Amino acid sequence: MWLSRWRTETVTCIACGETVTRDEAREYDKYGNRWDRAGKTFEHLCKPCDRDLCRRDRRGLEAHLIELEAGEHSQEAFVRRYVCALEERERLERRE
C-alpha cells in the first residue's frame, strides 16, 4: 500500500491542462471534502492553480453548473452564460 504512494505518476490539471507529476499536484474534490475518501476518485490541480483557488463555500455550485450546462458549450459561451447568471443573481439580491 505505501509503495503506491511513492510511485511516480502523472496527472492533468483540470484548470490549466498541464500534465505534472502527482507530487507536483493537489487533489481536488468537487464536494469540498477530500478527507472523506470512501468511493471517490479525485481530479487534480497543479500547485500554481491550487494556490489560485478561491476557498469559498461551494454549496450549490455543482447544481448551478449543471443548470448552466457546463461542458455542453464552448468555454467562451459558458463563461458568458455564467456571468449573465451572476449578474441576474446580484440584481435579484439588490431588489430584496
Q: Does 47 lie in the same domain as 67? A: no
What pLDDT was estimated at residue 38?
80
pLDDT for the residue 8: 62
Q: Are residues 30 and 67 in the same domain?
A: no
Is residue 9 located within the same domain as residue 45?
yes
The model's pTM is 0.49
Whether 56 maps to a domain, the answer reads no
**Count of domains observed in the chain:** 2
Please give the span between the terminal C-alpha atoms of the chain, in angstroms, as a whole number. Answer: 55
- CA–CA separation, 94 vs 30, rounded Å? 29
| Inside any domain, residue 76 | yes
Domain-located, residue 42: yes
Compute, in degrees rounded to 10, the torsion defined by CA atoms 89, 13, 48, 84: -20
SS3 11: strand
Beta-strand pair 19-21/25-28? unpaired
Per-residue pLDDT of the chain (96 residues), as tens digits, is 455 555 568 999 999 999 999 889 988 877 766 677 787 788 899 999 988 877 676 778 888 888 988 889 899 999 999 899 889 988 988 887
Domain of residue 85, residue span: 61-95
